[in-house]
Amino acid sequence: MDQLDFDVFVADAWTLTSIMTCMVMKRDPRRVFMTGILMIVSALLFLGRTCPASETEWSDADGLTVEGRAFSDRSAVWDRLPARAEGVVRDPVWNLSRHSAGIAVRFVTDSPSVSVRWRLTRDVLEMPHMPATGVSGVDLYARTADGWRWAGCGRPAGIENTTTLVRGLSSESREWMLYLPLYNGVETVEIGIDEGSSIEPAPERSRPITFYGTSITQGACASRPGMTHVSILGRRLDRPVVNLGFSGNGRLEPEVGRFLVEIDASVFVLDCLPNLDGSATAERTIPMVMQIRVAHPDTPIVMVEDRTYDDAPFSAGRRRRNHENRKAFREAYEKLLSDGVPGLIYVEGDDLLGDDGEATVDGSHPTDLGFMRQADALEPAIRSAIDSGVGR
């Protein structure tokens, strides 16, 4: 039982207890007895709805199909960078790489229910502007005839969590995808199915779309892990994605690029401007693009401007930062084109969040609406990159 369900249960129990007290005061033993019976039955039904059945069989998610982990030599099972990155990238980048953002587990099962239990690495479950479901929760999707469809979200209550995400299904084989927490790490993840049901890894998919970016790329402030634009685009394009978003630390650094270029990506997406200013953008853009291009001569590179701050109309400083970043980025892009660097696709920032100021929690970090709009804005560019042939 997670915390929200527990709180609801306590509230219901308190209400029933109050009723019973009133009955006692009215000296009505028969009604007190019946109310007590109803309270017990309600509790049993509630627990049966929220907790997995005792006959659940558990499988280590690491033995299923895992996407979003691009390196095999990891310090821990669910890290995003290899162990050799420690001491090479800056400490904040390394620490953030231990968060499981963008990692997804795919599997096929005929079980009428799907449960999950996961152990987090930190007891900080939420942030002031981002709910625990996004920071530390898990998110389940099912493949349907019309594409991927949301099925359930696991709400964290502490370090250790167990919940049933879907139940009462017909016993037919389905493909599932479980997204892991965005701003927390996981020590263990297990998938639970009904006794006698089968579970197996889902088929491997093609080369991943790889994103290098900031807190927005990592997922701040999605309500649940499947609602980042990175994950949305992965579902729409039916492609694996690698999320190398590092909150406050997506800075086009060659130390990160050293590991980025080891990934056999179908497309590279560079979206680091929110963590840079004009001078840093001018200094670092061309070296990062060339670091990728030397290692991957033909792989498309999508260059994304920073989003327009939602509160930019009221902040000259915000407008100035957008302008300086974009000017430097555009100049670098045009210089690369003039030098004959192929396979570059440029995405302007004005349309990433829309123009109504309703897409962020703080002017910068998207809500689910903002992430959906960002996915809409990036999808044509990434589709074009994939359709070019070299990105397949």
| Structure confidence at residue 2 (pLDDT) | 43
pLDDT on residue 21:
44
pTM listed for this prediction: 0.87
Task: Give dist(CA 167, CA 2) in Å, integer.
Answer: 17
Q: How confident is the model at residue 24 (pLDDT cuts 50, 70, 90)?
A: very low
Identify the CATH number of the domain defined by range 209-387: 3.40.50.1110
Query: pLDDT above 70 covers what percent of the chain?
Result: 85
Predicted local confidence at residue 10, as pLDDT: 41
Residues 40-96: tens digit of each pLDDT: 434 444 444 445 545 999 999 999 999 999 999 999 999 999 999 999 999 999 999
Give residue-wise pLDDT tens across range 249-277.
999 999 999 999 999 999 999 999 999 99
pLDDT of residue 19: 43
User: With 60 as the cut, is the pLDDT of residue 31 above it?
Assistant: no
pLDDT range class, residue 388, cuts 50, 70, 90: confident
Q: Which residue has the higher pLDDT, 252 or 392?
A: 252
> Per residue in 187-245, pLDDT tens?
999 999 999 999 999 999 999 999 999 999 999 999 999 999 999 999 999 999 999 99
Per-residue pLDDT band at 27 (split at 50, 70, 90): low
Confidence band of 132 (pLDDT split at 50, 70, 90) = very high
Q: What is the pLDDT of residue 17?
A: 46
Nearest to 88 by CA among 283, 285, 253, 298: 253
CB 233 within 8 A of CB 241: yes
Query: CA angle 120-122-125, nearest 5°?
Result: 85
Indicate the class that CATH gives domain 57-68+103-201: mainly beta
Give pLDDT, residue 289: 98
Q: Is the pLDDT of residue 38 over 50?
A: no
- Of all residues in the chain, the percent with pLDDT exceeding 90 is 84
Give 384's contacts (C-beta < 8 A, 6+ positions apart): 345
- Residues 352 and 379: their CA atoms lie apart, in Å, by 11
Average pLDDT score, the chain = 90
Residue 54: what pLDDT? 52
The pLDDT tens digits for 330-377 are 999 999 999 999 999 999 999 999 999 999 999 999 999 999 999 999
Q: Give 292-326 pLDDT, tens digit per residue.
A: 999 999 999 999 999 999 999 999 999 999 999 99
Instruction: Give the model's pLDDT for residue 121.
Output: 98
Provide the pLDDT confidence category of residue 171 given band limits of 50, 70 and 90.
confident
Q: What is the amino acid identity at position 380? A: P
pLDDT band at 30 (very low <50, low <70, confident <90, very high): low
Please check the confidence at residue 25 and state whether its pLDDT lies above 50: no
Q: Where do the domains of the chain lie?
A: 3-50, 57-68+103-201, 209-387
Is 18 a residue whose pLDDT tops 50? no
